[in-house]
């Protein structure tokens, strides 16, 4: 049996992260299933459980816990694979970081289950959860920082030993993502440590609500890029190898990640376009910066199609689109991620609409937004992660991704796609009709609201049908994960699932792309430009602070 | 950047594909913009 | 860094499209006055009902012939709870919250404003058609969030 690709000790920490991720995934998707039924008045929860508790759990467990634990598993495995086995210190700190992240998560979940924190994953003040909820959030972030910095340490050792060389593309991208994450978290750490915790424990009496919202969204938008970039890593580095090709352009791949560091942070106001306290000038400036962050995604779109076309032509595809037929559609590791990419086309287009200043009023806080993030993080990111899971777990456990499991995997991605298509289309359209997000059964006695329950696609029932299919798909995925982890037959030399890393020709890549000091410096300049004055205004013109409210 | 016509890979299909993506973006955006105008 | 000819075309197209989008919304917002709701005045969230204009919630006619609606959002409703406004007249909604964050969103219009405690939000709207308009809160505010709604009666004058 050959499992020597990644050091055994490193595999273990990645597997623990994966295990945590998929536990959160199962509970989180179950919460989602309950939600779509409650919204249809088709289900009554027992007394001790509340819709908004479930909604908080669904958001936190899927958008935060599943993604983050999965991402670190992927990074740990990939960094060990591309830069070599971790040293003892790096390994130790990865474990410490994992433990702190897990502890924070458990604290948060306990508070939510206890009914002390039905504040949703945005935890907007002055809704006040139990102080330990915020302590849990802080621990979660600190844990990810420890894991992140230990991977940076691993990378630093590699660079010291390879002076003048560009790092492997995977490592470069992982480091870029970690830099993005650390800078992004500064906002949420500031508001949690200096605003929420003192206020929730009663050491201060009031909270500056608008400041806390602005700091949250300083974090909240790059957060979505923290989810997306690991998916892009899979698209750039993993997928070309799976289809037998190469990275289309090493320099453009690196450039796009640099652009994400620069432009994904100073844009948080586009989540606050309809609120007071921020002048239209600053909102519009951040709208312009938001549009800058679209460009690296345009670069990525081209790179993906080019990778596919070049490979398809190598395999004998002719004419304009003959190359499409030559792609390995029978390989679920590829097909899953291809579908994930396809979902990102309307997902990204919707994102441009959301950020388009006053057009935000059409969709803000409607079901459209829910539809939007289910076809961004919920499919492009999540299904890319599924596609990675199919080989990553067997790679780490030394088992086989058997033919029958591959068939199940096809069923899984098919059901996820159909469920998501139904649910998110219904959500987008209902949102345009004004149906709000984040509500339990929406039985408003008005004709406009009754229209949210008839129609073919514009119907809460369609949404529930989609949601049910999605939950079945989720259960199927967890079944596959369990098989790949403990039950599938052991692999041998021939059947071993490799960790695919595509060849990337970096001979023409400018060296300055890996000069992080430049990019971090410019990132902070842009952040200072976009945020200093409006935040100073919010602080200077602060109204008397808001008290503590528990309205659930 | 030197001219390297023949060494460039044939990416006609890619160009058409990304342009289709561009059309999706523009059409969706225009639809919502019109909705905004109608509701003004 | 080497760019394929088609990639230059694609990025050129993309960047121009983005510039057009920004110009359209920018001109509409700043030259024609269609910016999203905003406001720069603050208020003591515990003294909302003692502070003008929220000491008299409801519709007021201003000297220039336009109208202002002073609106308080609270868990789980609005003050005033019933509202009648004229069709075809410019109405400025002036909004705040006396407890947590809410929204004031009129279905079928572009009025979709956040109510943030301590801050005052403004949005101007002219109802073209008379009729009954549903107003809902679309920002989570607690256990009764989904009951938080009201109606605006728009009448011909």
C window 106-135, beta carbon within 8 A of A: 107-108, 110-114, 116-122, 132-134
Q: C29 and C104 in one domain?
A: no
pLDDT bin (cut points 50, 70, 90) of residue A4 is low
Q: C65 and C30 in one domain?
A: no
Kindly report, residue by residue over A506-519, the tens digit of the pLDDT: 999 999 999 999 99
Q: C61 and C17 in one domain?
A: no
Residue B9 is predicted with a pLDDT of 84
Residue B4 is predicted with a pLDDT of 43
Kindly report, residue by residue over A369-392, the tens digit of the pLDDT: 999 999 999 999 999 999 999 999
Asked if A270 is an active-site residue, the reply is no
Q: C53 and C128 in one domain?
A: yes
Asked if A541 is an active-site residue, the reply is no
Q: Which residues contact A342 (CB under 8 A, 6 or more apart)?
A: none
| Residue to test with chain A: of B1, B16, B32, B36, most A Cβ within 10 A | B32
Kindly report, residue by residue over A326-364, the tens digit of the pLDDT: 999 999 999 999 999 999 999 999 999 999 999 999 999
Q: C17 and C66 in one domain?
A: no
Q: C141 and C78 in one domain?
A: yes
Kindly report, residue by residue over A36-83, the tens digit of the pLDDT: 888 888 888 888 888 999 999 999 999 999 999 999 999 999 999 999
Q: C101 and C137 in one domain?
A: yes
Instruction: Answer yes or no: is A232 within a domain.
Output: yes
Instruction: Answer yes or no: is A550 within a domain.
Output: no
pLDDT greater than 50 at residue A3: no
Chain A touched by C9 (CB under 8 Å): no
H-only helix segments in B1-40? 12-38
Across A1-29, average pLDDT: 88
A-C contacts at Cβ under 8 angstroms? 221
Asked if A372 is an active-site residue, the reply is yes
Instruction: Answer yes or no: is A37 within a domain.
Output: yes
Residues of B in contact with C4 (CB under 8 A): 8-9, 11
Across C127-138, average pLDDT: 95
Instruction: Answer yes or no: is C106 within a domain.
Output: yes
| Residue to test with chain B: of A354, A355, A359, most B Cβ within 10 A | A359
Residue B6 is predicted with a pLDDT of 45
Cα of A438 to nearest chain C Cα, Å: 6
Cα of C157 to nearest chain A Cα, Å: 24
What total number of domains does chain C contain?
2
Q: C69 and C143 in one domain?
A: yes
Q: C136 and C74 in one domain?
A: yes
Instruction: Answer yes or no: is A419 within a domain.
Output: yes
Q: Are B10 and A323 in contact (CB under 8 A)?
A: no
Asked if A11 is an active-site residue, the reply is no
Across C103-131, average pLDDT: 96
The single residue of A11, A221, A333, A428 carrying the catalytic annotation is A221
Instruction: Answer yes or no: is A546 within a domain.
Output: no
Q: C8 and C58 in one domain?
A: no
Instruction: Answer yes or no: is A3 within a domain.
Output: no
Across C11-37, average pLDDT: 96
Inspect the interface and report whether the beta carbons of A302 and C7 lie closer than 8 Å: yes
H-only helix segments in A375-493? 382-397, 403-432, 447-450, 460-482
pLDDT greater than 80 at residue A88: yes
Strand, helix or coil at A508? coil
Strand, helix or coil at A510? coil
Q: C81 and C150 in one domain?
A: yes
Residue A276 is predicted with a pLDDT of 96
Inspect the interface and report whether the beta carbons of A305 and B18 lie closer than 8 Å: yes
Residues of C in contact with B2 (CB under 8 A): none
Nearest-10 crossing angle of helices A516-540, A280-292:
160
Domain that holds residue A244: 8-541
pLDDT greater than 60 at residue A426: yes
What total number of domains does chain A contain?
1
Q: Which residues contact A336 (CB under 8 A, 6 or more apart)?
A: A383, A384, A386, A387, A390, A409, A413
Instruction: Answer yes or no: is A14 within a domain.
Output: yes
Strand pairing category for C67-74 and C58-61: antiparallel
Q: Which residues of C touch B (CB under 8 A)?
A: 2-7, 9-10, 13-14, 17, 21, 24, 34, 108-110
Preceding peptide of C53 cis, ω within 30°? yes
Q: What is the CATH number of the domain that holds A213?
A: 1.20.210.10
Domain that holds residue C8: 1-35
Kindly report, residue by residue over A144-196, the tens digit of the pLDDT: 999 999 999 999 999 999 998 999 999 999 999 999 999 999 999 999 999 99
Instruction: Answer yes or no: is C129 within a domain.
Output: yes
Q: What percent of chain A has a predicted confidence (pLDDT) above 90?
A: 90
Q: Which residues of A touch B (CB under 8 A)?
A: 298, 301-302, 305-306, 308-310, 313, 320-321, 323-324, 345-346, 348-350, 352-353, 356, 358-359, 361-363, 432
> If you average pLDDT over every residue of chain A, what do you get?
95
Instruction: Answer yes or no: is C41 within a domain.
Output: no
Kindly report, residue by residue over A269-311, the tens digit of the pLDDT: 999 999 999 999 999 999 999 999 999 999 999 999 999 999 9
Residue A456 is predicted with a pLDDT of 81
Instruction: Answer yes or no: is A297 within a domain.
Output: yes
Q: Are C4 and C12 in contact (CB under 8 A)?
A: no
Kindly report, residue by residue over B1-40, the tens digit of the pLDDT: 444 444 678 999 999 999 999 999 999 999 999 999 999 8
- Six token digits for residue A545: 């602070």
pLDDT greater than 60 at residue C98: yes
Cα of B35 to nearest chain A Cα, Å: 8
Give the number of other CB atoms < 10 A from CB of residue A406: 16
Overall size of chain B counted in residues = 40
Residue of A310, A345, A363 with shortest CB distance to B24: A345
Q: What is the CATH number of the domain that holds C116?
A: 2.60.40.420
Inspect the interface and report whether the beta carbons of C117 and A442 lie closer than 8 Å: no
Compare all CA atoms of chain C with the CA of A56 and give the residue at the minimum distance.
C140
Q: C56 and C31 in one domain?
A: no
């Amino acid at each position: 049996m050959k499992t020597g690709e990644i050091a055994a000790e490193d595999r273990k920490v990645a597997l623990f992260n994966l295990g945590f991720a998929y536990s959160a995934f199962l509970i989180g998707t179950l919460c989602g299933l309950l939600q779509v039924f409650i919204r249809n008045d088709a289900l009554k929860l027992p007394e001790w459980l509340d819709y908004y508790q479930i909604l908080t759990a669904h958001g936190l467990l899927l958008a935060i816990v599943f993604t983050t634990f999965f991402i670190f598993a992927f990074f740990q495995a990939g960094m060990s694979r591309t830069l070599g086995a971790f040293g003892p210190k790096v390994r130790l700190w990865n474990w410490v970081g994992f433990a702190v992240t897990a502890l924070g998560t458990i604290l948060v979940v306990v508070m939510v289950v206890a009914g002390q924190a039905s504040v949703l994953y945005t935890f907007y003040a002055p809704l006040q959860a139990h102080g330990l909820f915020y302590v849990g959030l802080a621990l979660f972030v600190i844990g990810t920082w420890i894991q992140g910095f230990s991977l940076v340490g691993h990378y630093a050792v590699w660079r010291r030993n390879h002076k003048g060389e560009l790092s492997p593309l995977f490592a470069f991208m992982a480091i870029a993502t970690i830099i993005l994450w650390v800078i992004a978290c500064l906002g949420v750490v500031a508001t949690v440590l200096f605003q929420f915790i003192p206020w929730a424990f009663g050491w201060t009496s009031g909270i500056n609500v608008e400041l806390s919202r602005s700091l949250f969204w300083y974090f909240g938008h790059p957060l979505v890029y923290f989810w997306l970039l690991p998916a892009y890593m899979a698209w750039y580095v993993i997928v070309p190898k799976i289809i037998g090709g190469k990275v289309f352009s090493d320099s453009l791949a690196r450039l796009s990640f640099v652009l994400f560091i620069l432009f994904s942070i100073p844009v948080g106001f586009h989540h606050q376009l309809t609120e007071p306290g921020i002048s239209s000038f600053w909102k519009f400036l951040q709208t312009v910066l938001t549009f800058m962050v679209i460009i690296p995604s345009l670069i990525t779109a081209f790179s993906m199609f080019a990778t596919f076309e070049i490979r398809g032509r190598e395999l004998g595809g002719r004419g304009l689109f003959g190359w499409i037929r030559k792609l390995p559609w029978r390989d679920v590791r590829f097909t899953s991620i291809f579908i994930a990419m396809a979902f990102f086309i309307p997902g990204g287009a919707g994102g441009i609409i959301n950020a388009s200043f006053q057009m935000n009023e059409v969709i803000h806080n409607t079901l459209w937004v829910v539809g939007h993030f289910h076809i961004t993080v919920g499919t492009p990111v999540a299904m890319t992660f599924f596609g990675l899971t199919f080989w990553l777990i067997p790679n780490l456990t030394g088992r086989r991704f058997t033919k029958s499991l591959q068939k199940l995997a096809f069923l899984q991605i098919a059901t996820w796609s159909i469920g998501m298509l139904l649910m998110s289309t219904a959500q987008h359209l209902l949102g345009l009709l004004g149906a709000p997000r984040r509500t339990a059964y929406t039985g408003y006695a008005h004709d406009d609201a009754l229209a949210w329950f008839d129609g073919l696609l514009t119907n809460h029932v369609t949404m529930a049908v989609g949601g049910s299919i999605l939950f079945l798909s989720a259960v199927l995925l967890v079944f596959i994960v369990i098989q790949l982890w403990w039950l599938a037959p052991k692999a041998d030399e021939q059947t071993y699932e490799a960790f695919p890393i595509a060849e990337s020709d970096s001979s023409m890549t400018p060296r300055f792309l890996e000069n992080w000091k430049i990019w971090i410096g410019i990132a902070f300049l842009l952040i200072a430009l976009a945020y200093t004055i409006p935040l100073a205004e919010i602080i200077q013109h602060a109204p008397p602070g808001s008290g503590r409210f528990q309205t659930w | 950047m030197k001219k390297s016509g023949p060494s460039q890979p044939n990416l006609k299909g890619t160009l058409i594909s990304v342009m289709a993506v561009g059309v999706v973006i523009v059409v969706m955006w225009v639809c919502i913009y019109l909705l905004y105008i109608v509701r003004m | 860094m080497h760019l394929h000819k088609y990639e230059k075309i694609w990025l050129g197209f993309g960047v121009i499209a983005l510039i057009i989008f920004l110009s359209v919304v920018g001109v509409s917002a700043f030259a024609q006055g269609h910016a999203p709701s905003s406001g720069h005045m603050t208020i003591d969230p515990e003294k909302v009902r003692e502070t003008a204009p929220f000491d008299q919630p409801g519709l007021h006619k201003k000297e220039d012939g336009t109208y202002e609606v002073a609106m308080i959002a609270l868990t789980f409703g609005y003050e005033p709870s019933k509202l009648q406004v004229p069709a075809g007249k410019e109405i400025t909604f002036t909004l705040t919250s006396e407890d947590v964050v809410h929204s004031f969103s009129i279905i079928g219009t572009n009025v979709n404003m956040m109510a943030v405690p301590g801050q005052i939000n403004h949005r101007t709207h002219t109802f073209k058609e008379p009729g009954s308009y549903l107003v809902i809160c679309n920002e989570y505010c607690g256990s009764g969030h989904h009951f938080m709604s009201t109606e605006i009666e728009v009448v011909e004058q």
